[in-house]
């Protein structure tokens, strides 16, 4: 009996010890499960495939110690240098901020870290916001709806939604760049056309009255200053979102001659007088200039007349019409001017929830396609929409999906193609990286772009639209191989080596 009792006591002690051991193993000092440490290797790899069996999976591989005999070798060529990269990201609309602020704080911060943190997440590095309302705002408004520029003031959409979310993002990644674009000027500045100049009291359409060029330029200055007072520096602006679009829930028609005159005679001088140094991107609309022949090569026409190169950095483009070959056309005519891809959408019309289709197409067209045609940055449309594709404004896009969509009841986030294509760029290609050349193996199924980061690393982003392919990458000193899965995007990053 004594022996049985003794054995039972020993068993309880053993089990208690096991319980303590398991608790210590599975909990850190904060009572949270520790994040597993990734396997170490010479090359960090991120992989997403169309079937999502690889879901932005982080992997590693090592440099090879054997001579490279692979015919499928992509060579990095640092002697060929293209554009310097500003960053990659998404639009933070009023609707996106509204949805983000619906989330419990811990879930919201985790999501924003996953997206924007350069150390714990994808490292998104560029954000586009609207100056006043957009078609994804909570209402139609500008920051000066009462006549008179002295009535300028930020609204609840900025102070209650956009600015709080921006502050959280900047606490996660202080180097994020922010671009501002207006959908419309205040209605009291609008006229029906430049001949009659009758007042035009509508959010949609109309033109900017030249009599108010100076006031509207002051509006930009006050908006930039108001954000600065909230600790948010604006990196770039465009004078008008989609200036050839007379529709949308809020819009303003602005031909190239109008934009030229507004920028040269009012916007640049007002910015200079206020001591504000900022990049201006002209146009901010479609590759095909909405098929208005008189507006073809819109930014080039403005450049030809002369601009202040200290402020007018270049032109921004969308892809809702035309072909990205227009990027190369404008670059070849004005190679000293920058290009930015500032908006693209997914939605019901292009099977936007179908990752097996959209991942391949969007990575090739929007991400690598624009970067390989001299764009310094790529920004997609809404970062986050809800399950009803909103909130959205009547007359705007009612069939758009976000880069991610959120179920506002469960806070479950579904990730769409735009989330991945930006993440595959931003995770390995950092601001101020330089796009560099590649040569060697090519295939109709493969598209790639290579970069040299300022931190002593190389990056390669690869789209494989075909079957599994073992690709070898050679940087001139070291080489490594990895089997790219079928229909996948693969991003690589590794340290340069001197021997």
pLDDT tens for each residue of 383-440:
999 999 999 999 999 999 999 999 999 999 999 999 999 999 999 999 999 999 999 9
Specify whether 208 is located in the same domain as 236: yes
- Kindly state the greatest CA–CA separation across the chain: 109
Cβ neighbours of 28 (radius 10 Å)? 10
DSSP codes joined into one string, 367-435: IHHHHTTTEEEEEEEESEEETTS-S--TTS-SSEE-SEEE-TTT--EEE-HHHHHHHHHHTT--TT-EE
450 and 403 within one domain: no
Is residue 18 in a domain?
no
pLDDT given at position 497: 87
Cα(319)–Cα(303) distance, rounded to whole angstroms? 22
**Is pLDDT above 80 for 16?**
no
The b-or-e profile of 310-323 (16+ CB within 10 A means b, else e) is: ebbbbbbbbbeebe
Q: For residues 63 and 197, state if they share a domain.
A: no
Strand, helix or coil for residue 295: helix
Domain membership flag for residue 27:
no
The helix/strand/coil state of 162 is helix
Q: What is the DSSP letter of 196?
A: T
Alpha helices, DSSP H only, in 43-104? 94-102
Tens of pLDDT, residue by residue over 61-85, are 999 999 999 999 999 999 999 999 9
The Cα–Cα gap between 329 and 344 comes to: 20
Is 486 buried (19+), middle (13-18) or exposed (0-12) by CB count in 10 A?
A: middle
Domain around 208: 86-428
Please give the pLDDT value at position 40: 83
Integer angstrom CA distances of residue 47 from 50, 112, 353, 457 = 10, 20, 19, 19
Percentage above 90 pLDDT, the chain? 91
Looking at the domain assignment, is residue 268 inside a domain? Answer: yes
Same domain, 265 and 198: yes
> Which among 371, 395, 428 is the end of a domain?
428
Mean pLDDT of the region 246-273: 98
**476 within some domain:** yes
366 and 389 together in one domain: yes
- 36 in a structural domain: no
CATH of the domain at 62: 2.60.40.1180
Q: Do residues 43 and 63 lie in contact, with contact meaning Cβ atoms separated by under 8 Å?
A: yes
Quickly count: other Cβ atoms within 10 Å of residue 213's Cβ.
20
Instruction: Kindly state whether residue 472 falls inside one of the protein's structural domains.
Output: yes
Q: Is the peptide bond before 485 cis (omega within 30 degrees of 0)?
A: no
Are 282 and 373 found together in one domain? yes
The answer to whether residues 369 and 294 belong to one domain is yes
pLDDT tens-place string over residues 136-179 = 999 999 999 999 999 999 999 999 999 999 999 999 999 999 99
Q: How far apart are CA 465 and CA 364, in angstroms?
A: 9
Q: How far is CA 455 from the centre of its chain?
A: 21
If you count them, how many residues does the chain have? 499
| CA atoms of 44 and 59, how far apart (whole Å) | 6
C-beta of residue 206 within 8 angstroms of C-beta of residue 192: yes
Q: Quickly tell me which residue has 């560029």 as its tokens.
A: 126
- Decide if 69 is inside a domain: yes
DSSP SS3 for 13: helix
- In this structure, are 193 and 52 located in the same domain? no
Asked, for residue 29, whether it belongs to a domain, the answer is: no
Q: What is the pLDDT of residue 19?
A: 32
pLDDT at 11 exceeding the cut of 60: no
Q: For 19-60, how does the pLDDT look when each residue is reduced to its tens digit (9 = 90+)?
A: 322 222 233 333 333 333 356 899 999 999 999 999 999 999
Question: Distance between the two ends of the chain, CA-based, in angstroms?
Answer: 73
Q: What is the pLDDT of residue 235?
A: 98
In terms of domains, do 93 and 56 share one? no
Binned at pLDDT 50, 70 and 90, residue 18 comes out as: very low
Same domain, 132 and 211: yes
Contact 140, 246 (CB under 8 A): no
CATH number of 184's domain: 3.20.20.80
Count CA atoms closer than 13 A to 378's CA, side-chain side. 29
Residue 228 has pLDDT above 90, yes or no: yes
With 0-12 / 13-18 / 19 or more C-beta atoms within 10 angstroms meaning exposed / middle / buried, residue 73 is middle
Q: Does 458 lie in the same domain as 398?
A: no
- Distance between CA atoms of residues 73 and 441, nearest Å: 5
Can you tell me the distance from the alpha carbon of 256 to that of 421, in angstroms, rounded to the nearest whole number? 32
Coil vs helix vs strand at 105: helix
| Same domain membership, residue 296 and residue 348 | yes
Q: Is 205 helix (H, G, I), strand (E, B) or coil?
A: coil
Q: How many domains does the chain have?
A: 2
Three-state secondary-structure class, residue 110:
helix
Q: Contact 61/148 with Cβ under 8 angstroms? A: no
């Amino acid at each position: 009996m004594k022996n049985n009792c003794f054995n039972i006591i020993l068993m309880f002690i053993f089990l208690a010890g096991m319980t303590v051991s398991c608790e210590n193993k599975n909990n850190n000092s904060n009572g949270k499960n520790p994040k597993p440490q990734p396997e170490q290797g010479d090359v960090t790899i991120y992989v997403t495939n169309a079937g999502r069996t690889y879901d932005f999976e982080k992997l590693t591989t090592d440099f090879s110690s054997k001579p490279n005999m692979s015919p499928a070798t992509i060579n990095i060529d640092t002697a060929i240098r293209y554009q310097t990269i500003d960053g990659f990201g998404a639009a933070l609309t009023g609707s996106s901020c509204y949805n983000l602020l619906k989330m419990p704080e811990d879930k919201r911060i985790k999501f924003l870290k996953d997206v924007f943190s350069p150390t714990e997440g994808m490292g998104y590095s560029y954000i586009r916001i609207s100056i006043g309302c957009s078609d994804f705002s909570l209402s139609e408004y500008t920051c000066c709806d009462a006549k008179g520029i002295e009535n300028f003031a930020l609204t609840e959409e900025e102070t209650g939604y956009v600015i709080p979310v921006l502050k959280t993002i900047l606490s996660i990644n202080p180097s994020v760049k922010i671009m501002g674009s207006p959908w419309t000027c205040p209605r009291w500045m609008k006229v029906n056309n430049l001949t009659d100049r009758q007042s035009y009291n509508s959010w949609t359409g109309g033109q900017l009255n030249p009599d108010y060029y100076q006031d509207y330029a002051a509006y930009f200055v006050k908006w930039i200053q108001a954000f600065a007072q909230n600790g948010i520096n604006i990196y770039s602006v465009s004078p008008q979102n989609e200036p050839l679009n007379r529709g949308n829930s809020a819009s303003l028609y602005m031909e190239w001659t109008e934009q030229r005159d507004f920028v040269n005679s009012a916007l640049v001088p007002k910015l200079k007088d206020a001591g504000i140094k900022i990049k201006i991107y002209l146009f901010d609309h479609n590759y095909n200039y909405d098929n208005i022949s008189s507006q073809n090569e819109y930014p080039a026409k403005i450049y030809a007349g002369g601009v202040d190169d200290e402020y007018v950095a270049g032109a921004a483009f969308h892809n809702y019409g035309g072909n990205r070959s227009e990027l190369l056309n404008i670059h070849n005519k004005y190679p000293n001017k920058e290009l930015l891809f500032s908006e693209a959408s997914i939605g019901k019309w292009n099977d936007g929830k179908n990752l097996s289709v959209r991942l391949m197409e969007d990575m090739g067209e929007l991400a690598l396609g624009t970067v390989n045609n001299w764009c310094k940055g790529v920004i997609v449309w809404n970062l986050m929409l809800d399950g009803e594709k909103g909130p959205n404004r009547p007359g705007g896009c009612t069939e758009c999906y976000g880069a991610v969509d959120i179920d506002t009841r469960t806070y479950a986030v579904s990730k769409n193609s735009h989330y991945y294509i930006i993440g595959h760029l931003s995770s390995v290609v950092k601001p101020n990286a330089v796009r560099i050349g590649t040569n060697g193996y090519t295939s109709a199924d493969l598209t790639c772009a290579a970069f040299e980061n300022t931190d002593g690393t190389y990056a390669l982003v690869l789209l494989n639209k075909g079957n599994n392919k073992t690709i070898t990458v050679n940087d001139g000193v070291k080489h490594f191989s990895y089997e790219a899965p079928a229909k996948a995007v693969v991003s690589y990053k590794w340290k340069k080596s001197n021997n």
